[in-house]
Structure 1
């Protein structure tokens, strides 16, 4: 059993209990007579919506004799089998041995390594789930596909399967076949750990929540005006001094290299790639406060605990600036097995356009020198994006036509795009004007608005093959606890995940909101707090 898996569930349950203030008084009511078991969840009722569903045939019932069969001797498949057993054992009370042997009455995880037979057309992340009276088989070409198939299996079981104590069941999985693979290769979520610092365990908790909806990128915003959150040996005061505070003046914090590697390892175990961000040349007050020589005038500003943006900048003419950036990128690249490093580039209002172009054109080759692809906010397209660069578009309704055209022109010239409209996918935007958390500079973003758009057509004129996918950023100026993160991410996050995974033809608000409502008992079982939007027909019992 993964101890963190159990611990985070318990932590979430305690949060929820404390928030609601549950109390129990008086004698227990008489237990009603048991009725017939509820029907199994239809194969089509999961999030993200599967690409193809062929429902029919007998359901499979997990029972005391069920085994989890892992084929082929792969360590990856064995780890996924153990993960599934960790999910199922506490609530079912069954042994569920993970074994390389077995015939019927199994949940079988089958890795083919090639796109033939049952794995044809599934790619690196797709899966096929076959369910019938004798068992369930999840087939994939790569381990990531098996893991995503396990997430679908979880959602096909009753929500009580997520609980830490034995439940009554029954544990039925509807009969039929799901064939599923993602629309986009990049399905991300960004967590801002700079405005408020979040511990390794808090980040792991968020990773678990992301993985349930097949998110495959965790973009960590590691530096900003309010805090530097990653240890850099060649510039140690970045973390020890620059990371010593946060918005509102709290204690802040930073990740040691070992802690960062643990986040990367844990994310990898859930098939998420970490994309680290060092925001440059603006959003750099924490760095400028840590080292006076990084400032053009040689004077370090004080640490900053407010929420304004656009007032800080590295000194573009100084050679030391590029020695600094090179050192940071070299050490960060060595810690990061993923393919991409994000170099920010937004809201550099204190940097002239000419200096911004000079800076970005000098820094991008430093990223590629260490074997990583460049990613930046879409303002990067105002410089000269290097070959293979990715621009993250965060524009919204108020974004001007000239700025949009600049991004589209870059896409036509080969720059890839990740779409993150601030008034659609920014999870920290308030739901309603009086909501106590979040911001509203991009507008109020309720659940339907966050779901009801198409990443493939959002940026008019951008070639379809330039769109790598979507990302849901979560900025934390007003968020300081896991409970804060969850109530802003849920219920909007699953919708962004679906936009990245599911075929465009499946996108329909009226059917989606019903599937979304059915997730609520699962979030309750996992201890995830969420906003009960009036736009969603939540269960009443």
Structure 2
């Protein structure tokens, strides 16, 4: 029997019998698993037309229990004539076991209406647990805002694939998306731009764009994610990628002249100044952020901070002299250290992109390595925990095919098989004790050119399914086996309403003729990547 489960379980075998899910099905759970039981009742009740009332373990009943010999995210699943039994090491493991059970059912089990066909799960025994504790996805809601409803849907899709970290990119040059009550202009001004660049050739759409999440919205999002065992890690970018904040509060910048929220893409020149008042401002911002997000991790960005304004600023140069720093690079390192200390004092861990390595870090800081594998190798060997976010392997804003018909023709081609070949532990670390520093990996959904929820669907799926398998299962993978299982997984996505990209290429209605932008020349793109990674080679 070929189980069409994604990501693939660690081990599975067949059992005699089967289980029929219908309006008479019962569900019983250990008291510690009440939350998982409530989620499963809600999901299955929509398709059975019943309430899955409590019952006794045995035929016709789904039983959620605890197993003392299992890790927190591990589970055992047995299905047969004698019922369904999910034993887990904790609520997270039970939730993943429940997700696997749903995948044993027909795709109709994912619709929001009573099924018109039998919902039958085959007899199986599965033992499963994840390889990595950090199985994440970055979602950029700063460049193009995503409504709360669409964000909750995305969390459900992550949970379906057993991903457990949503890295929420909330602020950037082009928009500020989190309500900060002490500084209301961050959303009154910073959440809105007058128009947007539509491609990489400078064309503009002439339409205002914006939106933000209230603090109540964010509490709801965090609670919704927690019920699905997804941790939401907020990102508040600094000292670069901050033009929206400077537009709202000009005293944060270096120019002393008004700015607008940025309307074009790329790496902006406008960065925060290094005054004590600016550091205090963002500590106040983070105080409110910490109240909203209980995550032990908080990302402060730290990437792509251009230094021209600091070089030209008498204030920044005075600051460098006062602090006894050598140059602007050390000034950025000093800036990041202020927030490393601030978060550590509050029991949180700073996460930053791999540029933060270049000035030295406190031991507790976590490095999100995006410029290939070099940052991951350098950080791990220096004793820092690492999240592998390699842009060349798991950035889903990159195009999925070489043709001119891709609706987002940007970057190198990153096809399904390329994502499936991704290995979170870099080759340089595989025989190195420092490999234990790799917490896991996350894919990136950067939205400069992804301007709608439908476009997110197209760019993310089914590549997210391939990525999920790289962080869940053991290193050895079988592409043909994955393709066979994916063939059974795609009808589930379709039942949910996901407008994924067919492997054969975009359907006619998925293309958008006339979108400005062209596929990058591969040689030019590789030269850009080489320039980005030049500093990391020495560190690694």
Question: What TM-score do you get using the length of structure 2 for normalisation?
Answer: 0.84
Corresponding residue number in structure 2 for 1:134 = 82
* Equivalent position SS for 1:276: strand
Contact 2:376 2:387 in 1 (8 A): no
Aligned counterpart for 1:358 among listed residues 330, 334, 342: 334
Supply the distance in 2 between the matched residues of 1:69 and 1:436 (Cα, whole angstroms).
48
Supply the distance in 2 between the matched residues of 1:54 and 1:458 (Cα, whole angstroms).
32
Q: Say if 2:326 is the partner of 1:368.
A: no
Supply the distance in 2 between the matched residues of 1:43 and 1:262 (Cα, whole angstroms).
39
Aligned counterpart for 2:66 among listed residues 73, 93, 111: 111
Supply the distance in 1 between the matched residues of 2:3 and 2:382 (Cα, whole angstroms).
39
**How much does 1:458 deviate?**
4.7
Q: Say if 2:531 is the partner of 1:531.
A: no
* Equivalent position SS for 1:518: helix
Structure 1 residues 311 and 163: CA distance shift in structure 2, 3 A? same
Residue range with higher mean Cα deviation, 236-245 or 166-175: 166-175
Corresponding residue number in structure 1 for 2:471 = 500
Supply the distance in 2 between the matched residues of 1:208 and 1:166 (Cα, whole angstroms).
20
Residue range with higher mean Cα deviation, 166-175 or 513-522: 166-175
Aligned counterpart for 1:389 among listed residues 365, 379, 396: 365
Q: Say if 2:316 is the partner of 1:346.
A: no
Alignment map for 1:241-256 (pairs within 5 Å):
241-245=189-193, 247-248=196-197, 249-256=207-214
Aligned counterpart for 2:233 among listed residues 248, 252, 275: 275
**How much does 1:96 deviate?**
4.4
Q: Say if 2:109 is the partner of 1:161.
A: yes
Corresponding residue number in structure 1 for 2:381 = 412
Corresponding residue number in structure 2 for 1:428 = 397
**How much does 1:294 deviate?**
0.8
Supply the distance in 2 between the matched residues of 1:381 and 1:439 (Cα, whole angstroms).
31
Aligned counterpart for 1:314 among listed residues 272, 280, 305: 272
**How much does 1:193 deviate?**
0.5
Q: Which runs of 5+ in 1 are unaligned?
A: 1-41, 537-541
* Equivalent position SS for 1:219: strand
Name the count of aligned residue pairs. 474
The alignment yields a C-alpha RMSD, in angstroms, of 2.0
Corresponding residue number in structure 2 for 1:511 = 481
Question: What TM-score do you get using the length of structure 1 for normalisation?
Answer: 0.84
Residue range with higher mean Cα deviation, 285-294 or 77-86: 77-86
Q: Say if 2:453 is the partner of 1:453.
A: no
* Equivalent position SS for 1:59: strand
1:265-292 deviations in whole A, cap 9, x for unaligned? 1111111000000111110000111111
Structure 1 residues 53 and 455: CA distance shift in structure 2, 3 A? same
Aligned counterpart for 1:466 among listed residues 437, 440, 443: 437
Structure 1 residues 79 and 460: CA distance shift in structure 2, 3 A? closer
Structure 1 residues 253 and 527: CA distance shift in structure 2, 3 A? same
Contact 1:486 1:529 in 2 (8 A): yes
* Equivalent position SS for 1:99: coil
1:479-509 deviations in whole A, cap 9, x for unaligned? 222111111110100111111111113x111
Alignment map for 1:28-427 (pairs within 5 Å):
42=1, 44-71=3-30, 73-74=31-32, 77-93=33-49, 95-99=50-54, 101-112=56-67, 115=68, 120=69, 122-245=70-193, 247-248=196-197, 249-316=207-274, 318-350=275-307, 352-396=328-372, 404=374, 407-427=376-396
**How much does 1:333 deviate?**
0.9
1:424-445 deviations in whole A, cap 9, x for unaligned? 111111112424433523x111
Supply the distance in 2 between the matched residues of 1:100 and 1:62 (Cα, whole angstroms).
14
Supply the distance in 1 between the matched residues of 2:425 and 2:2 (Cα, whole angstroms).
26
Supply the distance in 1 between the matched residues of 2:263 and 2:449 (Cα, whole angstroms).
12
1:187-218 deviations in whole A, cap 9, x for unaligned? 00111010011111110010011100000001
Residue range with higher mean Cα deviation, 212-221 or 423-432: 423-432
Contact 2:177 2:211 in 1 (8 A): yes
**How much does 1:419 deviate?**
0.7
**How much does 1:524 deviate?**
1.3
Supply the distance in 1 between the matched residues of 2:155 and 2:216 (Cα, whole angstroms).
18
Alignment map for 1:1-12 (pairs within 5 Å):
none
**How much does 1:164 deviate?**
2.5
Corresponding residue number in structure 1 for 2:317 = none
Residue range with higher mean Cα deviation, 96-105 or 467-476: 96-105
Contact 1:232 1:238 in 2 (8 A): yes
Q: Which runs of 5+ in 2 are unaligned?
A: 198-206, 311-327, 507-540
Supply the distance in 1 between the matched residues of 2:343 and 2:258 (Cα, whole angstroms).
27
Contact 2:73 2:90 in 1 (8 A): yes
Contact 1:92 1:168 in 2 (8 A): no
* Equivalent position SS for 1:379: helix
Supply the distance in 2 between the matched residues of 1:99 and 1:407 (Cα, whole angstroms).
48
Structure 1 residues 235 and 129: CA distance shift in structure 2, 3 A? same
